[in-house]
Chain A
Amino acid sequence: AQTVTQSQPEMSVQEAETVTLSCTYDTSESNYYLFWYKQPPSRQMILVIRQEAYKQQNATENRFSVNFQKAAKSFSLKISDSQLGDTAMYFCAFMYYGGATNKLIFGTGTLLAVQP
């Protein structure tokens, strides 16, 4: 069974600084995607970034980038130039594809507070 672990329940960062959120996962599969979702106080689940496991290049989306270490089964999210609007719960998620199902398996989340 796949598992996703986020070891940092809460983090804090000053506005304009950089912060890295950690995520590790466990799987024996080779076909999968990894995601970071953001959940602000509005509770909407918003996709931040996604990484295909078969790609060696780390995904980037504007101020958000990942450090994908496949052998180590690590998938961290780096947020550069943090903004107040980045304050949210961040969830790391794993999805295996290739079978009949495509369910997301979530970590327990990291609550990020961006301080002015």
Chain B
Amino acid sequence: DTAVSQTPKYLVTQMGNDKSIKCEQNLGHDTMYWYKQDSKKFLKIMFSYNNKELIINETVPNRFSPKSPDKAHLNLHINSLELGDSAVYFCASSQARSGVPTDTQYFGPGTRLTVL
């Protein structure tokens, strides 16, 4: 059984389009994350949700909007796609509680987004 899954794994689209990436975890974790890996392989946090509440929102353009319908799902919607949005987007999850030693983050397989 896949612990953290993402759909789609590959996404090719034109500039200006709107697209979504979905993430689901079956680990029973309460915190989920989106990371972006750029063309140089550098990974950086974008967003984090704890029990459907946004707790991390890094300096990401507001064209990116995360949505968490429940604690097992975290989706990423991107409006008006730009060439620079081309990257691999990773979803991750953990059992994280403020002030308490936290579990490791487990990653999904990644979604390679290519904007033409």
Listed in ascending order, the chain A residues whose CB lies under 8 Å from chain B are: 33, 35, 37, 39, 42-47, 50, 52, 89, 91, 95, 97-106, 108-109
Contacts and interface: CB of A to CB of B under 8 A. Distances in A.
Among the interface residues B42, B43, B100, which one has the most CB atoms of the partner chain A within 10 A? B43
A102 B100 CA distance: 10
B109 A50 contact: no
A102 B109 contact: no
A102 B102 contact: yes
Contact of A44 (B42, B45, B110): B110
Nearest to B112: A43
**Top 5 closest A-B pairs, CB basis?**
A45-B107, A103-B45, A106-B43, A102-B96, A101-B56
A100 B42 contact: no
B41 A108 contact: yes
Contacts of B75: none
23 contacts: A33-B101, A35-B104, A39-B41, A42-B109, A43-B109, A43-B112, A44-B107, A45-B107, A45-B110, A89-B41, A97-B100, A99-B99, A100-B98, A101-B56, A102-B102, A103-B45, A103-B56, A103-B58, A104-B43, A104-B92, A104-B105, A106-B42, A106-B43
A97 B102 CA distance: 7
A45 B90 contact: yes
Interface of B: 31, 33, 35, 40-45, 48, 55-56, 58, 88, 90, 92, 94, 96, 98-102, 104-107, 109-110, 112
